[in-house]
Structure 1
Amino acid sequence: MENRQAGTFGWLPGPNAAGDATGQIKGYWSATSVRQNETITLYVTVNPSQTYALDIYRLGWYQGTGARLRLHEGSLSGTTQSPCVPDATTGLIACDWSASYTLSVPSDWTSGVYLGLLTNAQGFQNYVLFVVRDDRPAPFLYQQNIMTNQAYNNYPNDGRTGKSLYTYNSYGANTISGETRAVKVSFDRPYADFGFPQADEMEFIRWIERMGYDVTYSTNVDTHADGASLRNHKAFLSVGHDEYWSKEIFDAIEGARDAGVNLAFFAADTGSVQVRFEPSASGLPNRVMICYKSAAIDPVNGPTTTVAFRSPPVNRPEQALRGVMAFVGGMVTSGTLPDYVVTNSSHWIYAGTGLKDGDTVARIVGYEMDRYDSQFAPPNSPNWTLLSHSPFTNYQGNASYANSSIYQAPSRAWVFSSGTISWSRALDGFWHGSADPRIQQVTANLFSAFLNGAPEVQGLALSAPGATTAGTAFTVTVTAVDGQGAPVASYDGTIHFTSSDTSPGVVLPPDSTLSGGTGTFTITLAGTGSQTVTVSDAARSLSATATVVVSSAPRAEQLRISGPATATAGDAFSVTVSAVDGQGNPVPSYSGTIHFTSSDTAAAVRLPPDAALSGGQGTFNVTLTTAGAQTVTASDVASSLPSATASLTVGARAADHLALTTSASPASGSSFPFTVTSLDGFGNTDTAYAGKVRFTSSDTLPGVVLPPDSTLASGQGTFTATLVAPGSQTITGTDVGTPGISGTMSVAVAQTVRSLKVTAPATATAGAAFSVTVVAADARGDPVTGYGGTVHFASSDTSAGVSLPPDSPLTNGQRTFTVRLTRAGPQTLTVSSADGALTTTTNVAVSAAPATRLIVSTATPTPTAGTSLSFSVIAQDQFANTDLAYAGRVHFSSTDTSATVVLPADSTLVNGQGTFTATLTKAGPQTITATDKVVAAVTGNVAVTVQPAAAAKLTLGAPNSARAGQSFPVTVTLTDQFGNVASGYRGAVHFTSSDLLPTVVLPADYRFTAADAGAHSFSVTLWTIGGQTITVRDTVNAALSDSHSVSVGLL
């Protein structure tokens, strides 16, 4: 009746989801479930403070809308509650909020999953979920698995403080776990993000209520608190992600099964991790869930240690209860979910689905999945069955598979595990669009068995041929069937065969069991006429009979042989020989002996020994080894029947070695052809050989040329190679991918001249003769004694005085010559054959002869007097080479012998040269000479022209007496500090006199020119009788001045 009520889509989220970082509106209930007529408290925070609305919906079918609105509170007062702070040790986040709203659950609220939709005044929304229980003994108990949701809940998911039982989505400081994850989580806090992680459960709820099953609801916290209540129902349903159980939950579910309650786990990774509960800070029981995930840090050690159930010290693998279990790598995290692949399709659970082994149901395996793990015991059941084997590639990129399973416990309770979290997607397409009627039928079949029991065997069905030949085996099929004739896969009885034919030669199957409710068996009858075969199960009073008409055997008239059209050399193949009648039917009564021959007479051929046929037929193994068209012939030893021949084509085996051959007689340095053939162990060419051949040789000298890595064409290839070393050499071909496939050939390489080897000293002295030996050598460097060709010499040293040998023949392949080089430094000596085909060059480092002279040079040929002058000295031999080894001491002298001259002290040179400074002071041409202090002949000089320095003194030259009114000459001369006339002076001079008469004539101011060369003459006329002075000075530099006294007399 409930789902006939009007539904609504109003429960679906709007566009503005509240977030944990801002906390526009969030909330949680004081309990995970509540009974009718009881109260439950809501805790809400809004940011900022504002009013909010509360809408409560019951989830179900409701004509496809998915929910029914049961309560609307339009304007509730909301405040911003205090932040929820994690405990520093355990990471526990428990909110200490003030109550916001109390709900008294009406008596007409049907048991189910209820969803509260919170909407603040700004339009932001969030969900709060709880379950209404009625605790009535309905056939089906649906468990809402909120414990696993809480384990993954990392509220507040703000990237800073939120924590769950997982490190991947926990933030902030490390806890006692050594990581950011918490070891305790509380139900006294909102769920992260939108607050509704139950998408898969939603599709299951829609389907089960649409189908009209009588179901009541609870949570796994209720199972923990009152596990005995599970026994009030025919079936317990765990839906969605149910990874975390307490010991009390495990005990309750296992106990329910053993009490005859059917179990269905529509999920994966179910019951794999143990938790404990403790009360909240306010004393409410079961509000804090504890899971250390490590026995090393859990303070409780024993049956309730919070580790995986299969791990020590708990040691309680869930596979024995569920039939399958979670496994490492049992997860996909991206892309389309894998397909469900059917096995054991004859099981009653697949009845009416049309599914066969290997059929698939799309996209319902994952995102977590289970499988049977052989490391752990399966359930205690003779009919435990794996219902699927679904291959997939897991999140690590590894190939894996998942299983679903079903079994019947000794209590007669059925236990089903879907092995996938996403089974519900095939029940209803609301979220994922993956509804599949076949999975809906499987689930309906399961629920029917829960309610009414599994299909029971009502009879045996026997299928046999209507006719057979005496002495010829035939097959029959036996099936255990229910009242509708459908196979009953759970049948575990023993069947027994009998026949009306009691003749000698009758063969009946032994007592047997069926597999999946069916089995195929072989029977041979001997008596002719109408016979019966009966199969029976005495324990269940079941039997079935089939009639078979048996005819007598005909007379053999010929032999027939059949076999494959092709075979591989060395591989055994089967041929079948039949003794047949005129219509070609086998004659079972034939008793002759068969002899075999073949066109392939190779030693390794294996033919069957002479043999009789069984029932007129026989199959034999033959092994041929020679590739090509071959025959196998079967003959009657007594020649009572014509022989029969089968033709076939024998192909080579895969090559196991290579054959390298050549008819050439190779010469050193000359290419020659050779052939490579891929052969099998019998010498057949493997025309299908596709390997790549790599070539190597015992000859590793430069100049060896081998083919590149190559493939063969139809098992053969012709190549060329060039070997250099004379004598016996090998070439080997090796398969690049399979080095064991290889082959080698040996060749004798004739000796030829490959090079000229020149032996010369590494060093020589300029002008000194040295010996050079030339050898005509083969590739290994050995002399070719038969060579007498002419050789020509050349050198990089083309100086006069170089002496090279004339063109000359070698004797017995070699000869020694005399060479003289004169230019110091690295030089080359090149020897070539007359035709230029052979050329070789050697390096000789020529050092200078002892020095015979000193070369003095300067970059300043016109130094200024008194200024330092840089010059260099180089010791050279007679060929103008620098004598790097010169060790003499050099003395310096100059034509300028002035006292102010500065010359270098006696010095040595470095690597035959040195740079020095000198200061000359006498203007004009001068020389600087360097002379070896011991060997005076080793000398040299450089000529320079010394320029005067700047003017430092002005001198006035004038007569001591003059006549009044008569002009007389005066001279002004500028000299530098060393007394040299300052020819470069370009200053201006000014004259004054003590004679102040206006008739006095003094020179005007005068600027010196280059033509003056530092001295200039002037004319002066004085008038005043007596001693007078004439003064001249530089117009700028007052330090340049001079005066002269002149006695002026009468005319």
Structure 2
Amino acid sequence: MTRSKFRFPETGPHAVAPWGVRKGYGDEHFLSDYRFQAPREDPELAEVFVYTPRMSYDPGETVEFHGSTTADTWTLQIYRDGHAPAMAHEAFDLPGTFTKTSETAYMDGCDWPVLHSWKIPEGQRPGFYRVVSTCMRKDGERFVQHHFFVVRPTPETRQGKILFMLATGTWTAYNDWGGANHYFGTWGPNGNEGSPHLSLHRPWTRGMLWLPKGAARIAQNRMPEMNDLPGYPSKEWGYSHGFGQYYAAAGWAQFDRHFAVWAERQGYGFDIITQTDLHLRPEILDDYTCLVTVGHDEYWSWDMRKTVEDFVERGGNFSRFGGNFLWQIRLEDDGARQVCWKTKAPKMDPVRDDPQQKHLLTASWESGGVSWPGASTVGVNGCHGMYGSWGGFAPRGSRGFTVYRPEHWAFEGTDLRYADVFGAEAGIFGYEVDGLNYTFERGLPYPVADPGVPEGIEILAMSPAVLFEYEHEGPGYRYYVRDSDLVGLAELAAEDTPVARRNYQYGSGMVTSMKRGRGEVLTAGSCEWIMGLTRRDPFTETITRNALDRFGGEA
């Protein structure tokens, strides 16, 4: 019997705003024209947006879809996404209800009414469920919006010993829908700052949950020629196609989905949770032998880290195929609100002077106010890694990793040797990476015994990275990040700022391995590792399989 091919609800053209003309200026740039995602609220240009109160549910629970639409009727479709997507629920010709969106929805939530609900059937297969809301405009064009939720595993529906945790703390940090994310927005006395408080009760910015094939990534696909302009392809592509300015920085579509599709295609049985699940339900790890995270994995809470370290100590294993382990967050209101003051934390985070709470300061893990380097949990640190393969950040650097310890089990079956480079053709190194302060002895790299760095970490492979853009002068050059991140992280550090700046400016991305108690951690510290899976790089695939087979059982 031949199974009919799944037709994605997104198939077909999506609405485009009516043609218009405006003035353009020669000094315009994406940095001077910050655009956050928001509703038009114009009945002539119908649109629909929904969100759910939580990111994950158990079978048997009811998912409520809070929404607002300027259309008379709208459609909602839900499908389980992955290697073999399957429709789970459809509702057509739903009556439309419009509710005005608050100017502070990004931090206070939208507070829209429930427009539809769906009771998840008992026994529903766990996984990532994409929600597609659509409506028709008067000119016949179709507006499309995406949301998601996760169906958590139960003892009856569990699919294996591997638990894949989505990097939802980072997704939230970059979601600017309604006015702000943790980076830029309309918060602050002048209405031009990122917000330290972000609500989960709002939609997701366009591109974080769904992207068409061919969407640009932050890391550049090609090596720039001599004197080429600094390249920021995702900013250019996002503007051209109406996607959020940060669509490429985080999310299911750009990162986590690549692993899920690959792992299912390879035959691995795994379940999916969100970081909020880990924070609120630490016992969820008890029935698994391997935790996996991938992609851009930047924001964690104290409780999340403590739970993972305890899990590994007891004999669990952690495979981390991602980069940028950098910021502490707090979750409030049962996970509905994320807090991160970032570089403002030493002066503005309310817990900064509380003896019982100051360890929860929402600054970088390596800052003087927190002093719990990420290496304790994942074997690498964010501040000793950072950027590569885009803009002015080592744009002609290695797109792969150089091997230093080919005898390690991670490289079994790869035929890799000392000094070989793997993954460069697939571009697995970038756009943000994690590393350690290191030294070389007789041709081999070793971690420097910095505070908070556990003994016994093995550096298996690495490549250099930088925390500032080299601003070469050239015709028409315009830079993006420049040295702003280096300055901000250096000011948070325990050392004097000039010393910290020197310590952080040059970094690396590393593949590391470490034992912790009865368990083990393997980290490939690069956001783009997953592209080695999608682009079928045999070395990246084999190393990933070696970790999953060792930690979670063979596919």
TM-score normalized by the length of structure 2: 0.71
2:125 maps to 1:115: no
1:215 equivalent in structure 2: 270
Which of structure 1's runs of 4+ aligned residues deviate more than 6 A? none
2:493 equivalent in structure 1: none
Matched letter for residue 342 of structure 1: T
- 1:10 counterpart (8, 11, 29): 8
CA distances 1:819-873 after superposition (whole Å, capped 9, x unpaired): xxxxxxxxxxxxxxxxxxxxxxxxxxxxxxxxxxxxxxxxxxxxxxxxxxxxxxx
CA distances 1:710-757 after superposition (whole Å, capped 9, x unpaired): xxxxxxxxxxxxxxxxxxxxxxxxxxxxxxxxxxxxxxxxxxxxxxxx
Matched letter for residue 131 of structure 1: V
- 1:351 counterpart (392, 409, 412): 412
2:518 maps to 1:412: yes
| CA–CA separation in structure 1 for the residues paired with 2:384 and 2:549 | 34
Larger radius of gyration: 1
| CA–CA separation in structure 1 for the residues paired with 2:202 and 2:398 | 35
Per the TM alignment, residue 75 of structure 1 is displaced from its structure 2 partner at its CA by 1.4
CA distances 1:358-410 after superposition (whole Å, capped 9, x unpaired): 2231211111111112473475453x221222235666028955332333424
2:450 equivalent in structure 1: 376
Per the TM alignment, residue 224 of structure 1 is displaced from its structure 2 partner at its CA by 0.4
Per the TM alignment, residue 13 of structure 1 is displaced from its structure 2 partner at its CA by 5.7
| CA–CA separation in structure 2 for the residues paired with 1:336 and 1:84 | 45
Aligned-partner SS, 2:78: strand
1:181 equivalent in structure 2: 194
2:105 maps to 1:31: no
CA distances 1:1004-1038 after superposition (whole Å, capped 9, x unpaired): xxxxxxxxxxxxxxxxxxxxxxxxxxxxxxxxxxx
2:164 maps to 1:142: yes
Matched letter for residue 15 of structure 1: P
2:522 maps to 1:449: no
| CA–CA separation in structure 1 for the residues paired with 2:118 and 2:14 | 26
2:460 equivalent in structure 1: 387
1:891-910 mapped onto 2 (5 Å cutoff): none
Do 1:426 and 1:440's aligned partners in 2 also have CA atoms closer than 8 Å? yes
Do 2:385 and 2:434's aligned partners in 1 also have CA atoms closer than 8 Å? no
2:347 equivalent in structure 1: 296
2:96 maps to 1:98: no
Per the TM alignment, residue 172 of structure 1 is displaced from its structure 2 partner at its CA by 5.7
Do 1:342 and 1:355's aligned partners in 2 also have CA atoms closer than 8 Å? no
Do 1:337 and 1:365's aligned partners in 2 also have CA atoms closer than 8 Å? no
2:64 maps to 1:41: yes
1:317 equivalent in structure 2: 373
Do 2:71 and 2:136's aligned partners in 1 also have CA atoms closer than 8 Å? no
- 1:133 counterpart (125, 143, 152): 152
2:180 maps to 1:163: yes
2:331 equivalent in structure 1: 277
Would the alpha carbon gap of residues 369 and 410 (structure 1) be closer, same or farther in structure 2, given more than 3 Å must change?
A: closer
Would the alpha carbon gap of residues 11 and 208 (structure 1) be closer, same or farther in structure 2, given more than 3 Å must change?
A: farther
Aligned-partner SS, 2:372: coil
Per the TM alignment, residue 241 of structure 1 is displaced from its structure 2 partner at its CA by 2.1
| CA–CA separation in structure 1 for the residues paired with 2:4 and 2:274 | 26
2:86 equivalent in structure 1: 68
Q: Which moved more, 1:405-414 or 1:231-240?
A: 405-414
1:676 equivalent in structure 2: none
2:433 maps to 1:327: no
Per the TM alignment, residue 173 of structure 1 is displaced from its structure 2 partner at its CA by 4.6
2:302 maps to 1:247: yes
Per the TM alignment, residue 219 of structure 1 is displaced from its structure 2 partner at its CA by 0.5
Would the alpha carbon gap of residues 239 and 359 (structure 1) be closer, same or farther in structure 2, given more than 3 Å must change?
A: closer
Do 1:319 and 1:376's aligned partners in 2 also have CA atoms closer than 8 Å? no
Matched letter for residue 191 of structure 1: W
Aligned-partner SS, 1:142: strand
Do 1:17 and 1:194's aligned partners in 2 also have CA atoms closer than 8 Å? no
Matched letter for residue 316 of structure 1: W
| CA–CA separation in structure 1 for the residues paired with 2:122 and 2:362 | 39
Would the alpha carbon gap of residues 452 and 53 (structure 1) be closer, same or farther in structure 2, given more than 3 Å must change?
A: closer
- The structure where strand makes up a greater share of residues is 1
Do 2:465 and 2:509's aligned partners in 1 also have CA atoms closer than 8 Å? no
| CA–CA separation in structure 1 for the residues paired with 2:89 and 2:98 | 24
2:315 equivalent in structure 1: 260
Would the alpha carbon gap of residues 5 and 330 (structure 1) be closer, same or farther in structure 2, given more than 3 Å must change?
A: farther
CA distances 1:192-224 after superposition (whole Å, capped 9, x unpaired): 234523221111001111122121111100000
Per the TM alignment, residue 179 of structure 1 is displaced from its structure 2 partner at its CA by 6.1
Per the TM alignment, residue 266 of structure 1 is displaced from its structure 2 partner at its CA by 1.5
| CA–CA separation in structure 2 for the residues paired with 1:318 and 1:370 | 9
RMSD of aligned alpha carbons: 2.6
Matched letter for residue 401 of structure 2: V
Per the TM alignment, residue 12 of structure 1 is displaced from its structure 2 partner at its CA by 4.2
Would the alpha carbon gap of residues 309 and 172 (structure 1) be closer, same or farther in structure 2, given more than 3 Å must change?
A: closer
| CA–CA separation in structure 1 for the residues paired with 2:266 and 2:416 | 22
2:336 equivalent in structure 1: 287
2:443 maps to 1:366: no
Would the alpha carbon gap of residues 306 and 394 (structure 1) be closer, same or farther in structure 2, given more than 3 Å must change?
A: closer
Per the TM alignment, residue 14 of structure 1 is displaced from its structure 2 partner at its CA by 4.2
Aligned-partner SS, 1:265: strand
Do 1:20 and 1:193's aligned partners in 2 also have CA atoms closer than 8 Å? no
Structure 2: runs of 5+ lacking an equivalent? 17-36, 42-46, 210-250, 353-357, 438-447, 472-504
| CA–CA separation in structure 1 for the residues paired with 2:549 and 2:119 | 37
Do 2:50 and 2:147's aligned partners in 1 also have CA atoms closer than 8 Å? yes
2:399 equivalent in structure 1: 339
2:457 maps to 1:396: no
| CA–CA separation in structure 2 for the residues paired with 1:8 and 1:338 | 39
Q: How many residues align?
A: 421
Per the TM alignment, residue 336 of structure 1 is displaced from its structure 2 partner at its CA by 8.2
| CA–CA separation in structure 1 for the residues paired with 2:102 and 2:532 | 39
Aligned-partner SS, 1:26: strand
Matched letter for residue 414 of structure 1: E
Do 1:7 and 1:68's aligned partners in 2 also have CA atoms closer than 8 Å? no
CA distances 1:657-679 after superposition (whole Å, capped 9, x unpaired): xxxxxxxxxxxxxxxxxxxxxxx
Aligned-partner SS, 2:407: coil
| CA–CA separation in structure 2 for the residues paired with 1:5 and 1:424 | 29
Per the TM alignment, residue 49 of structure 1 is displaced from its structure 2 partner at its CA by 3.0
Do 1:337 and 1:367's aligned partners in 2 also have CA atoms closer than 8 Å? no
Matched letter for residue 198 of structure 2: V
Matched letter for residue 450 of structure 2: F
2:494 equivalent in structure 1: none
Aligned-partner SS, 2:539: helix
Aligned-partner SS, 1:346: coil
| CA–CA separation in structure 1 for the residues paired with 2:538 and 2:385 | 30
2:100 maps to 1:82: yes
Per the TM alignment, residue 85 of structure 1 is displaced from its structure 2 partner at its CA by 2.2
| CA–CA separation in structure 2 for the residues paired with 1:407 and 1:27 | 42
Do 1:340 and 1:388's aligned partners in 2 also have CA atoms closer than 8 Å? no
1:554 equivalent in structure 2: none
CA distances 1:799-835 after superposition (whole Å, capped 9, x unpaired): xxxxxxxxxxxxxxxxxxxxxxxxxxxxxxxxxxxxx
Matched letter for residue 320 of structure 1: S
Aligned-partner SS, 1:303: helix
2:76 maps to 1:59: no
CA distances 1:750-809 after superposition (whole Å, capped 9, x unpaired): xxxxxxxxxxxxxxxxxxxxxxxxxxxxxxxxxxxxxxxxxxxxxxxxxxxxxxxxxxxx
1:633-782 mapped onto 2 (5 Å cutoff): none
Matched letter for residue 82 of structure 1: K
Per the TM alignment, residue 350 of structure 1 is displaced from its structure 2 partner at its CA by 0.8
